[in-house]
Amino acid sequence: MLEYKINIEKKNWIYRMKTKILIISFCLFTASAFSQEFISDFTWNFGFTADKLSEYIPNNSYKGFGIEGRRFFDKNISGGLSFGWNIFDQRIAEPIIIDEEGFSGTISGTQIRYVNAFPILANAHYYLGKRKDFRFFLGGGVGVYYILQRLDLGVWSLESNNWHFGLAPEAGFLIPFGDGESNIIVTGKYNHAFSSGKTIGGNEDNSYSYWSLNFGFAFSSRF
C-alpha cells in the first residue's frame, strides 16, 4: 500500500511539472512573438555537480534542457527570460545520516538519490561582433531555483523541496548557418542556488551549485 501511494505521488508530481513547463514555454514564446528583435533558443544541458551537491550526488548528468527568449535593446545588449531543468541522480550504497521529524539515524543500504533543479531566471547579455557573424557573449541570470531533493530506499522515499534565490553567470557564442537567422548556440554557465530550507539530512546549509555546458539552436529576428 505504501509503495502504491509513493508511485501515485510521483506520477502526480511529474504531471504537475510537465504542466508548469508547458505554461512557462508558452509565456516565453508569446512574449517573443510581440517583439521584432529577439532570439529564442533551445538547448541540451549537461550538468556537472559542485560543492554541496557533489557531496550528495558525485555523478554528473547529461539529462537537462533549457529554453530562453532574449529581446535586444540595441545591437549588442539583450534582456530576457530563461527556464531550465537539470536532473542529477545516482545509485549509492554509502550510509547517509538523516535528521527528520519523526526519524533520526543513519540509513545503510542501496539508495537512489535525486536532485531536480529548475532555474527560472531573468537574464542580460552583451555581444561582440556583428549580426550574422560569429558572436561571443557574456552575461548571466538572476531569479529563483526550484530544487527537489529525493532519496529512495526500497519502498521508502524521503523528499525535500524548496525555492531558492539564485545567480547564474554565463559565457557563450553564436555560430550562424543557413540564412544567418539560425544559429548554433554553445554556453557555459555556473548555477548557484543560495541556501533555503533544509536538506533531507537536516543540514542547515541547503545551497546547490553546478556547472552546465549547453548546446542547441537559436533562432533570431532582424535587429
Tell me the CATH number at 32. 2.40.160.20
Instruction: Kindly give the confidence (pLDDT) of every residue in the chain, 223 residues in length, as a single tens digit, with 9 standing for 90 and above.
Output: 434 344 445 445 555 555 555 555 555 544 444 445 789 999 999 999 998 899 889 889 999 999 999 999 888 999 999 999 999 999 887 777 666 665 566 777 788 889 999 999 999 999 998 878 899 999 999 999 999 999 887 777 888 889 999 999 999 999 998 777 899 999 999 999 999 877 776 667 889 999 999 999 999 876 4
Q: What is the number of domains present in the chain?
A: 1
The C-alpha cell of 181 is what?
537567422
Contact 138, 123 (CB under 8 A): no
Res 2: pLDDT? 38
pTM: 0.78
Q: What is the domain range of residue 166?
A: 2-220
CA distances to 85, 120, 123, 144, 207 from 191, in Å: 12, 11, 13, 11, 11
pLDDT (0 to 100) of residue 133: 87
93 burial (CB, 10 Å; 0-12 / 13-18 / 19+) is exposed
